[in-house]
Amino acid sequence: MTRSNADRDKLVSELMLDAGVPGDALLKASLESIAGLSALPAPAPRGELAALLGVPSVDPDGGTNPDGDELAGRRRRKHRPAIVAGAVVTAMGLGIGGVAASGGLQQNSPEFIQSLIAGWAPQGNPAPPSLVPAGPVPDAPKVTAVPAPSSLPTAQAAAGTPQSLASPSPSAVPGHASTGNAPSAGKSPAALTEKKAEKPHKVKPKVAAAARKEDRPAGTVRPGPSSPAGSSQMSFRDSVELMLNERGRVGGKAVEDVLRRIVRLGIRF
């Protein structure tokens, strides 16, 4: 096995004798310290040497390149954040691309929202709060009171206009009026159909509503219908026709109620 201290002493003494410097204690001590390197333990065999000696390798991977796997692990750890970052950037890119491909919300939002609102209105609600704002209501009586006397001539003169179509509704021409009335009101079709369905129960406001309706064309003041639902006029006409066809002209009274309701809403607006 390894050399003993006596063997090292013998080696050093022989060397010093050969070199012609025997008896130097300091030099001998230093030389013995150098000779002590031979007492190092044999390193544990690894890899091919372990296989050659028939002993199990110190490293489970064979130990031929013990740093290889460790470096590979460190490379994987270094690459992992880059992979995650790449995945995040890709996901964000896909999301942004999807939004861009859809045209964006800002460009299509008005038509898109209008289409949604046109097709979606609360059912069973005779007077939706969104359609009847609190502000304009008090003003309605004033408008009706002042221009009331001059209602008849102006109404006939404007019979061809869409505004006057609502005038014959009180009792004169319930059936015909419905066809020509369509473009006037400018209301959303869904809301109007609902109001018509519930209207038959309310008969009281007919007269007042008629008066207001006739006053309207005289004053030529119709700020309400045009501004909030200007884009839905066509859909209103279609909806009225569709309603009449489906219901098969349920009755003059019902149609009148619908028209009165329309006119009332128009006044409020």
Partner 1 sequence: MTDALTDEALQALRGNDAELFSAVYQSFAGQVLGYLSAKGVQDPEALTQDVFLAVLPRIHAISGGVKGLRTFVFSVAHARMVDDHRRQVRVPEHQEFEAERDTREVLSAEAEAMDRVAPGEVLALLGFLPEEQREVLSLRIIAGLTVEQVAEIMGKSQGAVKQLQRRALTTLREHSAVKEYVAP
Task: Answer yes or no whether residue 61 interacts with partner 1 by CB under 8 A.
Answer: no
In terms of CB distance, is 16 or 140 closer to partner 1?
A: 16
Q: How far is the CB of 76 from partner 1 (least distance, A)?
A: 15
Q: What is the C-alpha to C-alpha distance for residues 112 and 119, in angstroms, rounded to an integer?
A: 11
Q: Long-range contacts made by residues 42-48, C-beta under 8 angstroms, separation at least 24?
A: none
In terms of CB distance, is 71 or 113 closer to partner 1?
A: 71
Three-point CA angle 5, 7, 12, nearest 5° = 95
Task: Answer yes or no whether residue 1 interacts with partner 1 by CB under 8 A.
Answer: yes
Q: What is the C-alpha to C-alpha distance for residues 112 and 209, in angstroms, rounded to an integer?
A: 34
In terms of CB distance, is 38 or 108 closer to partner 1?
A: 38
Tokens of 41: 């333990």
- Residues in binding contact with partner 1, number by CB under 8 A: 43
How many Cα atoms occupy the beta-carbon half-sphere of 48 within 13 Å?
2
Q: How far is the CB of 42 from partner 1 (least distance, A)?
A: 3
Q: How far is the CB of 2 from partner 1 (least distance, A)?
A: 5
Q: How far is the CB of 46 from partner 1 (least distance, A)?
A: 6
Q: What is the C-alpha to C-alpha distance for residues 139 and 223, in angstroms, rounded to an integer?
A: 13
Three-point CA angle 65, 66, 68, nearest 5° = 70
Q: What is the C-alpha to C-alpha distance for residues 26 and 189, in angstroms, rounded to an integer?
A: 116
Site string for partner 1, 126-165 (x = CB under 8 A): ----------------------------------------
Contact pick of 48, 61, 111, 139 for partner 1 (by CB under 8 A): 48
Q: Which of 219, 205, 49, 88 lies closest to 142, judged by CA?
A: 219
Q: What is the C-alpha to C-alpha distance for residues 143 and 96, in angstroms, rounded to an integer?
A: 52
Q: How far is the CB of 24 from partner 1 (least distance, A)?
A: 6
Contacting partner 1 within 7-46 (CB under 8 A): 7-8, 10-12, 15-16, 18-21, 24, 26-27, 29-31, 33-46
In terms of CB distance, is 60 or 153 closer to partner 1?
A: 60
How many Cα atoms occupy the beta-carbon half-sphere of 160 within 13 Å?
1
Q: Are 216 and 158 in contact (CB under 8 A)?
A: no
Quickly list H helices, 102-150.
105-119, 136-145
Q: How far is the CB of 20 from partner 1 (least distance, A)?
A: 6
In terms of CB distance, is 35 or 218 closer to partner 1?
A: 35
Contact pick of 5, 23, 55, 109 for partner 1 (by CB under 8 A): 55
Contacting partner 1 within 179-238 (CB under 8 A): none
Which residues make up the interface to partner 1 (CB under 8 A)? 1-4, 7-8, 10-12, 15-16, 18-21, 24, 26-27, 29-31, 33-49, 52-55, 70
